[in-house]
Amino acid sequence: MFSDARLTNLIANTLALLAVSALVIGVVVWAVRRPYFNIERIQIESSQGERLAYVTPEGVKATIAGRLQGNFFTVDLDQSRALVETAPWVRRAQIRRVWPNSLSVRIEEQQPLAYWNEDEMINTWGESFSANKAVVPDDVDLPQLSGPPNSERLVVQRYAELARWFGPLDVQVSEVTLSPRYAWDVVLSNGVQLSLGRDPAADIADPHGRKGALPFAVRVERFVQAWPALMQRLGDRALQSADLRYPNGFAITLAPVSSTPVK
């Protein structure tokens, strides 16, 4: 009898505990599903503490509209972050819950460095991204960079080197093009076109790599060093292009002289 009583009490206590647990779970589920906890507000701000220049709250909300699932308790933060990062000009996002029905979204914006190929842009980290170019202010003059797939970082690196070399000459780099065979062409802000040829440093990335090309830096530095004397010698004549691929120098082409008819 004693043994049966203990077993009976154990079963009764277990059933009571299960009943209470089921009641508690039911109450929690009921409470969690209340409209009070639906996501009603999304706070958007810069992760750097500055004013957002390209990302707009309206653009982010339009991207996630109807696609954000769950409420304060059930929303998947990782999935929501990935969704926000598909919005234009968003590079990275951090999301956290704000009691009782809000989300805080901290955004790292894309920082445009240049236009990339035909319809993309490239940021200061050497990453290509798609964005509405019309958002870029008119007074922001971005260079045009072009290259084969997966060459973004190499092109950005070379652009930065060229900008440093020509900066002291008060000349900017307007275009940098890396061909499918990894040869470089450059256009300066004064319209001068430079042919730099192949880049030995790109041999690993180039499936058609050929050894023996003059190092990229040597070609550019030689031309930059000759620039002041060259400009002085040309006088009023304008330089149209320069071919830097020669092992012991470079060849130049002068712009045509415009003739004014005599009346």
d(CA 86, CA 55): 12
Task: With a cut of 80, say whether residue 260 has pLDDT above it.
Answer: no
Domain ranges for the chain, please list them. Answer: 38-109, 112-254
Strand ranges of the sheet holding 112-116, from the earlier edge strand across to the other edge: 128-129, 120-123, 112-116, 144-146, 173-178, 183-188, 193-198, 239-243, 251-254
pTM here?
A: 0.79
Q: What pLDDT digit, counting tens, does each position of 203-227 carry? A: 544 445 455 567 888 899 999 999 9
CATH number of 112-254: 3.40.50.11690
CATH architecture for the domain at 38-109: Roll (3.10)
pLDDT tens digit sequence for 99-154: 999 999 999 999 999 999 999 999 999 999 998 888 898 888 999 999 999 999 99
Tokens for 216, please give them.
């990229």
* Mean pLDDT lowest among 35-44, 70-79, 161-170: 35-44
